[in-house]
Chains A and B, each alone.
Chain A
Amino acid sequence: MSAAAVSGRQTALGVDVSGIGVKGPPRVEARAMTKQFGGNVVLDQVSLTLEPGTVHALLGENGAGKSTLVKCLMGFYQADAGELLVNGEVVAVKSPRDAQAHGIGMVYQHFTLVENMTVAENLLIARQTLPAIIDWKRELADLTAFMRRMPFHIEPTRLVRQLAAGEKQKLEILKQLYLGSRVIILDEPTSVLTPDEADEVLGLVRQMAERGELSVLIITHKFREVLAFADHVTILRRGKLVASDRVRNLTPAQMAELMVGAEPPKQSSSRTDSAPRELALELERVEADDDIGLRVLEGVTLHVRAGEIVGIAGVSGNGQDELVEVLAGQRPLRSGSVRVAGDHYRSTREHIRTRRVRLLPEAPLKNACVSHMTLAHNIAFRDYDRPPFTLLRWALRPAAFKKRAEEAIRAFRIRTPGPLSPIGQLSGGNVQRAVLARELAGEVRVLIAANPCFGLDFGAVAEIRSRIMDARNAGTAVLLISADLEEIFALSDRILVMSEGRIVHETPAQTADVREIGRHMAGHA
């Protein structure tokens, strides 16, 4: 505790960041780290060594265990097994403060700066201890001296609000240096930066590492950054360590293969064969913007036929979420068209009903339910304005809601205290079952499923996948968007790969080459 405070204070006075041999970054080593969540092994005996003065990339798909490993290093989680060594000594890191005391700091994916405070204020409030009265004159002088020694420089009196994204990222890194961190973990540092900003920030960090002032661990799934800036790469897949090597010893194709695996996963067995049928869902040059107005969908064109599952694979953050939101009516379509069975489609109640389009979003409690409303009400969202729920067009019949919910509870084996329980009180699997019961009721022409099994336990996953397969066998056109390649392979008839807002690859699932898909996902065709 006191060590952290002391080191924070010393850096503020500028004692140990100069890198002129005072104290280099420590060697950090994780040994056989294992972490389970509710019987689910998310990190399985993973070891990693961060040599002083190197840039180390941690590569893996979503859910590969990258962030869990890092959170164990930082003391957010306590590993179930395994140990952490700093300079060869076993240390107990129970909280991020402990990690800080050992000189390990993390820069999060999303900024943790106070927008309407100055750079200097942001740096000062990050310290663990502050005097009751701050001597700003002295602190500013200290900060200016500190900045002068840094490879990049931000005026301490500027407001954070006025900084560009790249400058904020630099400030986050400066903050860690100011706090005395010599080992910096960057969590997807470039996800909020333009390519130029990313190159600049990572280049500066790399130079500091080369001078022996820092060690850096970068969590990423961008191959380009690994190749350009990292010395060493550790690749995780499904919680296991699959490779750890010098970057120069690996080609991007090899990395892709290591990341997604070489074995094509098994297909689901309940698939019935059928001849290609009529077109059900057609997207033509669909474009949309993200929340801050940047174009994220750059002309997505795809077709789904009745009775087939088309899977969209891709590293997350390449426009998949926005595509689902456009189809769900949660994000405006900038240009292009969406047609269902040849008819123009917009997410209005009339179109949803007449075109028979259903959607299973990820995080259903956030995207598709009202958590404080009852299960019975949530199950009725699609047709509460139609008989049998209505009487005389306007009045609701509570008994009909209850009856429908009871049927759904039986048919989909939803575990709930009763139909009138708030849906927010159910477990994740049961919420997803309730949404399935709602979305798969009646005849469905088009089903859009986005990461439908994310975060669910094994049994629920199998059941939900077989429900989707049943819908396909019954003639529904299914568009499956998933960050889980195994899920794409298990369900799809045809696989598309999405990268940077476009469909960049298409292949029938039966003859799909997982390495080929991995290369397209990584943007290295």
Chain B
Amino acid sequence: MATGGAPNAPSARVDWADIGARLEPFLIPLFALFVSLALFGAFVALAGQPPLEVYYQMYRGAFGTWFSFQNTLQRASPLLLTALCTALPARAGLIVIGGEGAFVMGGLAAGATGVALAGSPRAVILGAMFAAGAVVGAIWIGFCGFLRARRGVNETIASLLLTYIGIALLNHFVEGPLRDPESLNKPSTRHIGEANMLGSIPGLDVHWGLVAGVVACLVAYVLMERTVFGFSAALVGGNARAAKLSGVKVAEVIVITCALGGAAAGVAGSFEVAAVHGRANASLVAGYGYAGILVSFLARHNALAIIPVSLFLGGIAASGGLLQRVFALPDATVNVLQGILFVVLIASDTLYGRIRWRSLAGAR
């Protein structure tokens, strides 16, 4: 149904203003993307490299070949899960940025569980590892939600600071109680055993975390958009006073969304141990949790949109190596692009509802 001005305008005329307003959720991020690319282009040019050529190589490094695409998928799969750690609580109105902590703690729990169950059947070990990662991640972020709901502690700060505690705990355990005496250069827990590790998806050099991540995003989407719980969460996030008036248990909803988000990040950490490293060590602190925040914000906390956005950011990360080889740009150059993207996208949030489509259309 056309709204507003339809009766005034002849029906054959296309109402550009209306179309513009409706496409806002797509046009604004697209616009932000172009601004970011332009800024990054300027940065690259300042570093003495041709921007368009850099962008072409980035495309090649991310999606151009089967090999590079697999690299992208590898990097995207943890992001699918860590992004949910921000996206799910966001639905209930919380800004959680502690996915890194839940990821690390999930990985540590999975590593410790794998070692503790050494000798058990492979299915038991793997099942217990993922369960442990999910539970510890859920407790980690669920605790932030609890502090918020019961004591009014700011969940953003709490989750960020808990990340440092999580990393410290990881270091403590891998250098102390859980240290494998043979891990000399890089203190680690004992290996869970090559035979017990989770393999790759048949035909790909990508582990099953990719499938788990996609499934988790789909489930999260359905949970938030199509279930009673998702509706309650939207009510809490939209207006806590209205939620209380409706008898919704605000504290419970906050703690559950946080715990679910934490569980997703914890599972991502478990995959890192079960499918990549085989043991918990400082390699877990690779910034997947932080990158997940970026993904979630770019996806506007929509679980479905997290899938393409993760691929996009995974691609950017994957292209770093190629940039280094071809242009002698530092590996960290892609982090600059990520940073620019984040800032521009957050800034573009202020544009929603402010663009005067009508006067823009009238100017034609």
Q: Mark A222-238, 1 if CB is under 8 A from B, else 0.
A: 00000000000000000
Answer yes or no: B8 CB below 8 A from chain A CBs. no
A372 near B245: Cβ-Cβ < 8 Å: no
Q: Knowing A384-B228, A394-B227 touch, does A348 contact B249 (C-beta < 8 A)?
A: yes
A349 near B247: Cβ-Cβ < 8 Å: yes
Answer yes or no: B337 CB below 8 A from chain A CBs. no
Which of A208-216, A261-269, A362-370 makes up part of the contact surface?
A362-370
- What distance in Å separates the Cβ of A218 from its nearest Cβ neighbour in chain B? 33
A347 near B226: Cβ-Cβ < 8 Å: no
Q: Knowing A371-B239, A381-B235, A417-B1 touch, does A394 contact B245 (C-beta < 8 A)?
A: no
* CB-CB nearest 3 A-B residue pairs: A370-B238, A349-B247, A417-B3
Answer yes or no: B248 CB below 8 A from chain A CBs. yes
B244 near A328: Cβ-Cβ < 8 Å: yes
B231 near A329: Cβ-Cβ < 8 Å: no
Answer yes or no: A109 CB below 8 A from chain B CBs. no
B204-261 interface (Cβ within 8 A of A):
226-232, 234-235, 238-239, 241-242, 244-249
A residues near B249, Cβ cutoff 8 Å: 348
A residues near B230, Cβ cutoff 8 Å: 396
Answer yes or no: A117 CB below 8 A from chain B CBs. no
A370 near B244: Cβ-Cβ < 8 Å: no
A370 near B245: Cβ-Cβ < 8 Å: no
Contacts A/B (CB < 8 Å), 22 sampled:
A329-B245, A347-B247, A348-B247, A352-B246, A359-B245, A361-B245, A366-B241, A367-B242, A368-B245, A373-B234, A373-B235, A373-B238, A377-B231, A381-B245, A390-B228, A394-B227, A395-B226, A395-B227, A396-B228, A396-B231, A417-B1, A417-B3
- What distance in Å separates the Cβ of B342 from its nearest Cβ neighbour in chain A? 23
Answer yes or no: A427 CB below 8 A from chain B CBs. no
Answer yes or no: A385 CB below 8 A from chain B CBs. yes
- Chain A count of residues within 8 A CB distance of the other chain: 32
The distance in angstroms between the C-alpha atoms of A106 and B103, with both chains bound, is 55
The residues of A with any CB-CB pair to B shorter than 8 Å are 328-330, 347-352, 359, 361, 366-373, 377, 381-382, 384-385, 390, 393-396, 417-418, 421
Q: Which of A330, A390, A396 contacts B245 (CB 8 A)?
A: A330
What would 4 more interface pairs be, CB under 8 Å, given A349-B246, A359-B245? A328-B244, A368-B241, A370-B235, A384-B228
The distance in angstroms between the C-alpha atoms of A349 and B248, with both chains bound, is 6
B residues near A393, Cβ cutoff 8 Å: 228
Answer yes or no: B152 CB below 8 A from chain A CBs. no
B residues near A395, Cβ cutoff 8 Å: 226-228
The distance in angstroms between the C-alpha atoms of A305 and B247, with both chains bound, is 24
B residues near A367, Cβ cutoff 8 Å: 241-242, 245
- What distance in Å separates the Cβ of A397 from its nearest Cβ neighbour in chain B? 9
Q: Which of B4, B229, B239, B242 has most chain A Cβ within 10 Å?
A: B242
Q: A interface, by DSSP: helix, strand, loop or mixed?
A: loop
B241 near A330: Cβ-Cβ < 8 Å: yes
A residues near B247, Cβ cutoff 8 Å: 329, 347-352
The distance in angstroms between the C-alpha atoms of A396 and B227, with both chains bound, is 5
Q: Considering only CB atoms, which chain B residue lies closest to A401 in the complex?
A: B231
The distance in angstroms between the C-alpha atoms of A421 and B4, with both chains bound, is 12
- What distance in Å separates the Cβ of B19 from its nearest Cβ neighbour in chain A? 16
Q: B interface, by DSSP: helix, strand, loop or mixed?
A: helix
Q: Considering only CB atoms, which chain A residue lies closest to B225 in the complex?
A: A396
- What distance in Å separates the Cβ of B227 from its nearest Cβ neighbour in chain A? 5
Q: Considering only CB atoms, which chain A residue lies closest to B223 in the complex?
A: A394
- What distance in Å separates the Cβ of A431 from its nearest Cβ neighbour in chain B? 12
Q: Which of A348, A352, A370, A396 contacts B239 (CB 8 A)?
A: A370
The distance in angstroms between the C-alpha atoms of A330 and B250, with both chains bound, is 11
Q: Considering only CB atoms, which chain A residue lies closest to B222 in the complex?
A: A395
The distance in angstroms between the C-alpha atoms of A373 and B243, with both chains bound, is 13
- What distance in Å separates the Cβ of A465 from its nearest Cβ neighbour in chain B? 22
A residues near B4, Cβ cutoff 8 Å: 417
B234 near A396: Cβ-Cβ < 8 Å: no
The distance in angstroms between the C-alpha atoms of A369 and B242, with both chains bound, is 6
A370 near B234: Cβ-Cβ < 8 Å: yes
A329 near B227: Cβ-Cβ < 8 Å: no
- What distance in Å separates the Cβ of B117 from its nearest Cβ neighbour in chain A? 34
Q: Knowing A348-B247, A349-B248, A373-B234 touch, does A381 contact B228 (C-beta < 8 A)?
A: no
The distance in angstroms between the C-alpha atoms of A390 and B228, with both chains bound, is 8
The distance in angstroms between the C-alpha atoms of A390 and B230, with both chains bound, is 12
Q: Considering only CB atoms, which chain B residue lies closest to A439 in the complex?
A: B245
A418 near B238: Cβ-Cβ < 8 Å: no
B residues near A350, Cβ cutoff 8 Å: 247
The distance in angstroms between the C-alpha atoms of A369 and B234, with both chains bound, is 11
Q: Considering only CB atoms, which chain A residue lies closest to B237 in the complex?
A: A370
B303-343 interface (Cβ within 8 A of A):
none
- What distance in Å separates the Cβ of A153 from its nearest Cβ neighbour in chain B? 37
The distance in angstroms between the C-alpha atoms of A466 and B230, with both chains bound, is 36
The distance in angstroms between the C-alpha atoms of A328 and B234, with both chains bound, is 19
- What distance in Å separates the Cβ of B353 from its nearest Cβ neighbour in chain A? 10
- What distance in Å separates the Cβ of A478 from its nearest Cβ neighbour in chain B? 17
A381 near B227: Cβ-Cβ < 8 Å: no
Q: Which of B3, B226, B238, B244 contacts A329 (CB 8 A)?
A: B244
The distance in angstroms between the C-alpha atoms of A421 and B2, with both chains bound, is 12
- What distance in Å separates the Cβ of A356 from its nearest Cβ neighbour in chain B? 13
The distance in angstroms between the C-alpha atoms of A347 and B242, with both chains bound, is 12
- What distance in Å separates the Cβ of B236 from its nearest Cβ neighbour in chain A? 9
A328 near B228: Cβ-Cβ < 8 Å: no
B residues near A421, Cβ cutoff 8 Å: 3
Q: Considering only CB atoms, which chain B residue lies closest to A421 in the complex?
A: B3
B residues near A377, Cβ cutoff 8 Å: 231, 234
Q: Which of A367, A377, A381, A394 has most chain B Cβ within 10 Å?
A: A381
Q: Knowing A347-B244, A349-B246, A382-B246 touch, does A372 contact B228 (C-beta < 8 A)?
A: no
